[in-house]
């Protein structure tokens, strides 16, 4: 992160720079007035401007107005002296993200800077998501976490082949989206993509649905029916919830994969097929094999290439962009002019355990867009269950509960003291004292 400190007091700006460089990874540049700051902003990219309000020549308010006009997304944090509060409030109205009254503790300034940058990062991710389709023929998808980058690279490597793919992952992780991406990146992209949810079709109808039937094949078969294998000719057939397929049909599916031909129900003619199979399940198929519910030979036929989709809780850094996408999607569809979401609400989502993964997040945002009273979704609009009650329900002394809560928060935020303090609802100094008391300095 690159920060510009603007203040006509050389001693103060130098002191701030030394403190931030010693305690953070921030790159810090200095300017003695608004004119100097303006020149540097035109020549270099900054993530935050921290400026004094009262300076000779071009003061902080004038600099702020110029930044708002020329660099509208660049956050500005104001520093104001005693008696300048009214001017600081005016600066907030113009667009400053916050202000700090002099004299202040440098630790307080660092905490405020970290909070502003955290919010700014969240907002940038949300805006990225608002401009990106979850899936499109241009193969855009939301998620820049390392696990999603690795998955995308694997998909791009696998797609050009005709190999069978097995996609596993919890419900709501986006297995069909990945299957569609594989299809659209493949040489079969202009041919059909046919999807079927195995668990959603009655068992006595499934065979006919997959393989088709001839007229008179069974009672009620008054005409010939073309099955999905034929409909997907030269394209891709996506078999969702493959773990639900009955044993007797597993034998027939295995034969299709081996022989690359089918027979319609009631027919005696073999029909060659050219179809890529992508299967998906949220079940542990090896466990199903051990229980006698899934054929081992079929598993190995399907498992030529295996993709595992991460749960949303394993890629929480992708949540802001996903939220931005869903806000855009549902603001348009429900006719509510929601434009954004409070950073605290995003943090709450990042701390929430999504049993339903991306699908559950989408449902939460859709509901929040419908019920939001303003253009910005609040924590209350999300309707998330309170985690406080769960924390209070933990057994042990108050000190033990507090120690465990701090330990968990530090690990959840990978040692980030500011974020952990925000989650726990305590100030940073209190958290630092508790970290020392409990011996958590190395977390």
The string of DSSP codes covering 208-236 is: HHHHEE-TTSSTT--S-EE-HHHHTTTSE
Question: Global pTM?
Answer: 0.63
71-75, 153-157, 201-205, 398-402, range with the lowest pLDDT:
398-402
Residue, of 51 and 221, whose pLDDT is higher: 51
Backbone angles phi, psi at 3, to 5 degrees: -120, 140
Q: How much is the pLDDT for 131? A: 53
User: What is the chain's length?
Assistant: 443
Inter-residue contact 251 to 161 (CB < 8 Å): no
Nearest-angstrom CA–CA distance, 196 and 228: 8
- A 10 A CB-CB count for 243 gives 20
Residues forming CATH 1.10.10.60 domain(s) in the chain: 388-438
Closest Cα to residue 55, out of 92, 102, 116?
102
3-state secondary structure at position 263:
coil
Q: For 298-356, how does the pLDDT look when each residue is reduced to its tens digit (9 = 90+)?
A: 999 999 999 999 999 999 989 998 998 889 888 877 767 888 898 888 988 988 888 88
With residue 48 as reference, give the H or E element that holds it: strand 48-52
- Give the Cα separation of 174 and 172 in Å (integer): 6
Domain with CATH 3.40.50.300 in the chain: 146-310
Q: Lowest-confidence range among 89-93, 123-127, 300-304? A: 123-127
Q: Which helix (H) or strand (E) holds 108?
A: helix 106-130
Span(s) in the chain for CATH 1.10.8.60:
313-382
CA 275 → CA 61, 137, 194, 203, 257, distances in Å?
65, 20, 10, 23, 10
Where does 285-356 have alpha helices with state H? Answer: 285-290, 296-302, 319-334, 343-350
- 2-130 has which fold? Rossmann fold (3.40.50)
CB atoms under 10 Å from CB of 342, counted, come to 18
- Among 174, 72, 78, 66, smallest CA distance to 124 is for 72
Nearest-angstrom CA–CA distance, 88 and 60 = 10
The yes-or-no verdict on residue 118 having pLDDT over 70 is yes
pLDDT greater at residue 366 or residue 389: 366
Burial of 263 (0-12, 13-18, 19+ CB in 10 A): middle
- Tens of pLDDT, residue by residue over 257-285, are 999 999 998 888 999 999 999 999 999 99
> The domain 313-382 is classified under which CATH number: 1.20.1050.40, 1.10.8.60, 3.30.413.10, 1.10.10.10?
1.10.8.60
Can you tell me the mean pLDDT for 99-113?
A: 87
**CATH code at 388-438:** 1.10.10.60
User: Is the model's pLDDT at 182 over the cut of 50?
Assistant: yes
pLDDT (tens digit, 9 = 90+) per residue, 4-29?
999 999 999 999 999 998 888 889 99
Helix 417-424 and helix 428-438, axial crossing angle in degrees, nearest 10: 100
Q: Could you give the residue range(s) of every CATH 3.40.50.2300 domain in the chain?
A: 2-130
Element holding 165 (H helix, E strand)? strand 165-168
Of the candidates 50, 56, 67, the one whose C-alpha atom is nearest the C-alpha of residue 108 is: 50
* Integer Cα distance of 229 and 140 in angstroms: 28
Q: Is the pLDDT of residue 392 over 70?
A: no
Does CATH number 3.40.50.300 belong to domain 146-310? yes
**Is the bond into 103 cis (omega within 30 degrees of 0)?**
yes
């Amino acid at each position: 992160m690159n920060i510009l400190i603007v203040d006509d007091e050389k001693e103060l700006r130098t002191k701030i720079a030394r403190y931030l460089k010693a305690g953070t990874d921030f790159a810090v540049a200095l300017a003695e007035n608004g004119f100097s700051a303006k020149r540097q902003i035109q020549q270099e990219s900054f993530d935050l401007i921290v400026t004094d309000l009262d300076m000779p020549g071009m003061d902080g308010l004038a600099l702020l107005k110029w930044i708002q006009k020329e660099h509208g997304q660049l956050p500005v944090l104001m520093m104001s002296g005693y008696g300048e509060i009214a001017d600081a409030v005016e600066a907030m109205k113009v667009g400053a993200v916050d202000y700090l009254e002099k004299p202040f503790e440098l630790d307080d300034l660092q905490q405020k800077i970290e909070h502003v940058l955290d919010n700014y990062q969240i907002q940038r991710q949300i805006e990225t998501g608002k401009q990106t389709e979850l899936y499109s023929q241009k193969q855009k998808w939301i998620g820049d976490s390392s696990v999603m980058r690795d998955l995308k690279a694997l998909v791009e490597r696998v797609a050009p082949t005709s190999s069978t793919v097995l996609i596993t992952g919890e419900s709501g992780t986006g297995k069909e989206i990945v299957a569609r991406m594989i299809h659209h990146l493949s040489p079969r992209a202009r041919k059909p993509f046919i999807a079927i949810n195995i668990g959603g079709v009655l068992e006595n109808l499934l065979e006919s649905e997959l393989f088709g039937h001839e007229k008179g094949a069974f009672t009620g078969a008054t005409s010939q029916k073309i099955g999905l294998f034929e409909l997907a000719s030269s394209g891709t057939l996506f078999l969702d919830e493959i773990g639900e397929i009955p044993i007797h049909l597993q034998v027939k599916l295995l034969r299709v994969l081996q022989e690359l031909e089918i027979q319609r129900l009631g027919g005696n003619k073999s029909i060659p097929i050219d179809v890529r199979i992508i299967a998906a399940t949220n079940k542990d198929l090896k466990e199903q094999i051990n229980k006698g519910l899934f054929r081992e030979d079929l598993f190995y036929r399907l498992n030529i290439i295996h993709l595992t989709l991460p749960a949303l809780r394993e890629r929480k850094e992708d949540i802001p962009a996903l939220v931005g996408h869903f806000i855009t999607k549902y603001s348009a569809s429900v006719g509510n002019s929601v434009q954004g979401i409070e950073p605290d609400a995003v943090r709450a989502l990042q701390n929430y355990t999504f049993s339903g993964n991306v699908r559950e997040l989408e449902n939460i945002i859709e509901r929040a867009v419908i019920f939001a009273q303003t253009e910005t979704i609040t924590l209350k609009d999300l309707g998330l269950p309170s985690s406080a009650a769960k924390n209070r329900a933990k057994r042990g002394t108050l000190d033990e509960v507090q120690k465990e809560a701090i330990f968990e928060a530090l690990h959840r935020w990978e040692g980030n003291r500011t974020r952990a303090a925000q989650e726990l609802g305590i100030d940073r100094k209190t958290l630092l004292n508790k970290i020392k008391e409990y011996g958590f300095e190395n977390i």
